[in-house]
Amino acid sequence: MKISELMSQNIALSAEECEAVDQYIPIKTFKKGTLLLKADQIANDSYFTIKGCVRLYYVVDGEDKTTHFFTEGDAIASMNSYINRVPANHYLECVEDCTLAVLNYEKEKILYKLFPRLESICRVSMEDDLGKHQEMLASHITKSPEQRYLKLLNERADLLQRVPQYHLASYLGVKPESLSRIRKRIQSRD
């Protein structure tokens, strides 16, 4: 599989664009447990998830705090680090074996210089992702843990089978024991 084939499902690319995209954005595989980015590193790559699951997490007082899971069709980037060339304050970890398209910072600049239209396409995609992240943050702040779990059940139920329960608990902002109680309470209603 080539990244141009995936991109062509949503946008029309010229033969030259396809060739350049495939040259500059290789598809690579990563084993479960691979850290794509560590805190204090500068993000030199961004990713597009073809297969697998990647989690973004912070370490606060020695404890993991998961804030996002990226699955098939999701772009993955440590935006502040990648764009501003500053150290990241979080980690990106493969929760499953992953197949990812990898866009290197320097190669991205070359690609956009060669094909400015691709920069516009990426900007529109990033704006869409920003809107989704804003809604997710608002939901996390305004909803109770039980409401967040129900939202997860409705919108991302696949994660329940793909991600360890302690990562899900962290993502929902609760301890694993609290997640167990929430699940039991919801199951008893059914």
Please check whether residue 47 is in contact with residue 102, taking contact to mean a CB–CB distance below 8 angstroms. yes
Q: Rounded to an integer, what distance in angstroms lies between the CA atom of residue 21 and that of residue 29?
A: 18
Angle at 35 between CA 29 and CA 39, to 5 degrees: 145
Angle between helices 145-155 and 116-142 (to 10 degrees): 140
Contact 150, 186 (CB under 8 A): yes
Strands 63-70 and 98-104, bridge-based pairing: unpaired
Contact 172, 152 (CB under 8 A): yes
Rounded mean pLDDT of 133-150?
89
Domain segments of the chain as ranges: 3-142
Asked whether the beta carbons of 126 and 68 are under 8 A apart, the reply is no
Confirm whether pTM is higher than 0.85.
yes
Q: Fold for domain 3-142?
A: Jelly Rolls (2.60.120)
pLDDT band at 1 (very low <50, low <70, confident <90, very high): confident
Which of these ranges, 52-66, 127-141, 146-160, 171-185, has the smallest mean pLDDT?
127-141
Taking only the tens place, the pLDDT of each residue in 26-44 is: 999 999 999 999 999 999 9
- Average pLDDT value for the chain: 92
- Written as one letter, the residue type at 127 is E
Residue 164: pLDDT band by 50, 70, 90 thresholds? Answer: very high
**Which stretch of 11-15, 74-78, 121-125, 139-143 has the lowest confidence by average pLDDT?**
121-125
Q: How confident is the model at residue 189 (pLDDT cuts 50, 70, 90)?
A: confident
| Predicted local confidence at residue 190, as pLDDT | 66
pLDDT tens-digit series, residues 124-138: 888 888 888 888 888
